[in-house]
Chain A
Amino acid sequence: QVQLQQWGAGLLKPSETLSLTCAVYGVSFSGYSWSWIRQPPGKGLEWIGEVNHSGSTNYNVSLKSRVTISVDTSKNQFSLKLSSVTAADTALYYCARSRSGSYLFAHWGQGTLVTVSS
């Protein structure tokens, strides 16, 4: 059974770097893409970017200058870093899995609320 379990700091100050990690259980990294998606409070979903098992990445252009997604296949984990955060980055952040070449998300993490406040 595929499980994604995520964690990271939930309260940041403006200009700090958001850092989240997602651990994957029950499935190999190969053949899939691993994404981060966020949801501001009371709003819709925004895809942030993805990484595959070899470390190749693809980012949403709206966040590209501030985002780094990386993978550690030895630990079956992938991570998100978002630099220079502002209040606009306050959101529920999800990790999710899709098949390589697709963006259909059948498996999601539980979500991590990240609040940016001075």
Chain B
Amino acid sequence: EIVLTQSPGTLSLSPGERATLSCRASQSVSSSYLAWYQQKPGQAPRLLIYGSSSRATGIPDRFSGSGSGTDFTLTISRLEPEDFAVFYCQHYGTSPPTFGGGTKVEI
């Protein structure tokens, strides 16, 4: 199975700052089947990005994804107060789908 390693584990930033989250795969992720989710306390994960760089329905354009092969990045251009949460990357092209360990973005 594909192992996804996210870094950093925690990112301490202020509203208005830029956040850059990394996800590295143990082998190439085919056709960029890489997604990002946001999870707030007490809530289910919410799909943000799929296909490495496409935003899901209703996701603001301050969220962007990039990357291919084994290295992927989620960027939040200007953090809003509601963006502070845990973010997970996931590969979804083959079974079993796996998730990274998460990056917590905190104030």
Interface residues of A (CB under 8 A from B): 43-47, 58, 60-61, 94, 96, 98, 102-106, 108-111
Contacts and interface: CB of A to CB of B under 8 A. Distances in A.
Interface in B32-64: 33, 35, 37, 44-45, 47, 50, 56-57
Contacts, number: 48
A45 B92 contact: no
Which applies to chain B's interface (DSSP): helix, strand, loop or mixed?
Answer: loop
Contacts of B88: 44-45
On chain B, which size bracket covers the interface?
20 to 34
Interface stretch (B10-18, B19-27, B69-77, B95-103): B95-103
A28 B92 CA distance: 22
B96 to A, nearest CB: 5
Contact of B44 (A46, A94, A102): A94
A20 B97 CA distance: 21
